[in-house]
Amino acid sequence: MPFAAPPTLNTSATSTDKVAAGAFSILFVDDEPSILSSLKRLFRPKGYQIHLAEGGHAALALLEQVAVDLVISDMRMPEMDGVQFLEQVRLRWPDTVRLLLTGYADIAATIDAVNRGEIYRYISKPWDDADILLIVHDALAQRALEQENKRLESLAQAQNTELKSAHAHLESLVAQRITELTVANDALQKAHEQLKSNFITSIKVFSALVELRGGNLAGHSRRVADMARQMAIKLGLDSRHTHDVFVAGLLHEIGKVGFGDDMLTTAIVNLTPRQLDLYRRHPARAEQLLTPLPDLKGSTELIAAQFERFDGTGHPRRLTHDAIPLGARILALASDYDNMLSGALAKRELGEPEARALVEKNRGKRYDPKVADALLAVLNATALDGLQKTTVAERKVAVGQLQAGMVLSRDLITPSGLMMLSAQHVLDDRMIRKIADFEKSAELSLFAYVRMDQ
């Protein structure tokens, strides 16, 4: 069966020339003219460009002048044998494919050629025409593929560089636009626009809408979000799913926005049957509110399933075990635990030991055992201040001691649980004056946590 040369890939100026010529170039090296003539007669009809050299030195001189895709060298030659020649080719033209033609029976010499010359294959004399054509065809096809991979990698790197430059330019434009909008917005919006993550800040403000009505809700969503994020990290969730869990914690009670004050201030165990039925529907209400926002799809699914229980006794679908999204199992326990401490779940506020005991009692029933373990691990390992963990060196500063340029290491929270500014906000003189005015008008004593490295 005849073998045509594989299609040449356009990887460089040299490759472009070969495409135009329709052939790869092959160099045959042997000290016997008859062998060279036989190889030339065999390969030239296949469309290859053929070069001949009677010995290693002549071949090296030719390679200095001509680009060659593949070299086939005899093993035994005077002055420079095949091993020495192919080693030189490897060092000086590493992309050239190297084949060894040998009738020499010494296996040690062949191994030496493989090691020193890093040859693609060796071919025994006398060769079979079909075999040697197939070997050369495959070797050149592999070389073409490797060259194309290099070209694509180089192209990808160039495109990545362009994308990074475009992204940096876009970020610069966005930052410039945010600065312009700051002048027109009120104090809270101006503060939020300077945050490292405008998206998360907006979600925090959104989740605070229900909490502004007071009662046991104050700060609940923020604490649940922080606790749920730490539990997700303990359970090995990746960054995307951890982010979904955190946002779900911030928004998990947004479905309560239509509840009356009596519903919001009544412990769950004291709700009437009608109120309890309405209460159980708030995750579905939240799902309806958030579904139009595609960026919140992952978090919305967790919120909708937050009342499912590990043993299948939950609502609305009575899912069980792993059929419940892991993020929803995390969210349910983080919310229940905070409600235990605040008195929103039972008839009274529970102390931490009582809350832990209640979690243990419901392990495998209401709660996933591994999620319960993650909660207890977080409680045991983390020093919590309002369930907000700090991972940077910080210090506590009174409002009167704040200075422009300070960076908040934590959210700035009022005693009622209202978030004024988010972590990573860089304070300026104007914002410091507004915080001081708020402190004075509300007759409060506020403190901020700022980074030590700023």
Q: Provide the pLDDT confidence category of residue 386 given band limits of 50, 70 and 90.
A: very low
Dihedral over Cα of 142, 147, 151, 153: its sign: positive
Inform me whether the pLDDT recorded for 100 exceeds 50: yes
**Residue 24 belongs to domain spanning:** 13-151
26 touches 73 (CB < 8 A): no
Listed residue (245, 435, 445) closest to 334, CA to CA? 245
Tell me whether residue 100 is in a domain: yes
Q: Which of these three, 151, 186, 210, is where a domain ends?
A: 151
Which of 128, 151, 174 terminates a domain? The answer is 151
Statement: residue 71 has pLDDT above 90: yes
- CB–CB of 120/139 below 8 Å? yes
Residue 378 lies in a domain: yes
Between 205 and 122, name the one with better pLDDT. 122
Residue 137 lies in a domain: yes
Phi, psi of 64 (to 5 degrees): -65, -25
DSSP per residue over 361-391, as a string? HTBTTTB-HHHHHHHHHHHHH---BTTB---
pLDDT tens sequence across 126-139: 888 998 999 999 88
CATH code assigned at 46: 3.40.50.2300
pLDDT digits 0-9 by tens, 216-258? 556 788 888 889 999 999 999 998 899 899 988 888 888 777 7
pLDDT of 333-350, one tens digit each? 999 898 888 777 776 788
Answer whether residue 259 is part of any domain.
Answer: yes
Contacts 24+ apart (CB under 8 A), 199-206: 199/295, 200/246, 200/247, 200/422, 201/422, 203/247, 203/250, 203/251, 204/250, 204/411, 204/419, 204/422, 205/419, 206/250, 206/251, 206/254
Residues 249 and 141 in one domain: no
In this prediction, residue 184 has a pLDDT band, given cuts at 50, 70 and 90, of low
Residues with Cβ within 8 Å of residue 255, at least 6 apart in sequence: 281, 282, 283, 284, 285, 286, 287, 289, 303
Query: pLDDT by residue (tens digit) across 416-454?
Result: 556 667 666 788 888 888 888 777 777 777 888 888 775
140 with 234, same domain: the answer is no
Look at strands 394-398 and 447-451 and give their pairing.
antiparallel
**Does the residue 354 lie in any domain?**
yes
pLDDT at 344: 75
> Exposed e or buried b for every residue in 248-276, given b needs 16+ CB within 10 A?
bbbbbbbbbeebeeebbebbeeebeeebe
Determine the pLDDT at residue 390.
Answer: 46
Of 8 and 146, the structure prediction assigns the larger pLDDT to: 146
- Residue 22 pLDDT greater than 80, yes or no: no
State the pLDDT at residue 18. Answer: 45
Kindly state whether residue 278 falls inside one of the protein's structural domains.
Answer: yes
Last residue of a domain, one of 102, 128, 151: 151
pLDDT tens digits along 369-384: 999 999 999 988 754 4
Same domain, 132 and 223: no
Domain count, the chain: 2
Give the span between the Cα atoms of 266 and 428, in whole angstroms.
41
- DSSP E strands in 45-171: the ranges are 49-53, 70-74, 97-102, 121-124
Clarify whether residues 227 and 359 are in a common domain: yes
Angle at 228 between CA 378 and CA 418, to 5 degrees: 110
Answer yes or no: do 232 and 117 share one domain: no
Q: What gap in Å lies between CA 152 and CA 129, rounded to an integer?
A: 35
Q: Kindly state whether residue 402 falls inside one of the protein's structural domains.
A: no
Q: Is the pLDDT of residue 266 over 90?
A: no
Of all residues in the chain, the percent with pLDDT exceeding 90 is: 26
**pLDDT value at residue 392:** 60
* CA nearest neighbour of 31 among 78, 63, 64, 67: 78
Task: Provide the pLDDT for residue 399.
Answer: 82
Does residue 121 share a domain with residue 262? Answer: no
**125 assigned to some structural domain:** yes
The CATH number covering residue 353 comes to 1.10.3210.10
Higher pLDDT, residue 117 or 436: 436
pLDDT: which is higher, 273 or 69: 69
Predicted confidence at residue 273, as pLDDT, reads 82
Whether pLDDT at 11 is above 60: no
- Whether the per-residue pLDDT at 365 is higher than 50: the answer is yes
Same domain membership, residue 342 and residue 245: yes
Q: Are residues 250 and 135 in the same domain?
A: no
Tell me, yes or no, whether 146 and 277 share the same domain: no
Q: Are residues 266 and 140 in the same domain?
A: no
Residue 243 shares a structural domain with residue 376: yes
Based on the fold, state whether residues 242 and 115 are members of the same structural domain: no
Q: Tell me: the pLDDT tens digits for 286-313? A: 888 888 888 888 889 999 888 899 999 9
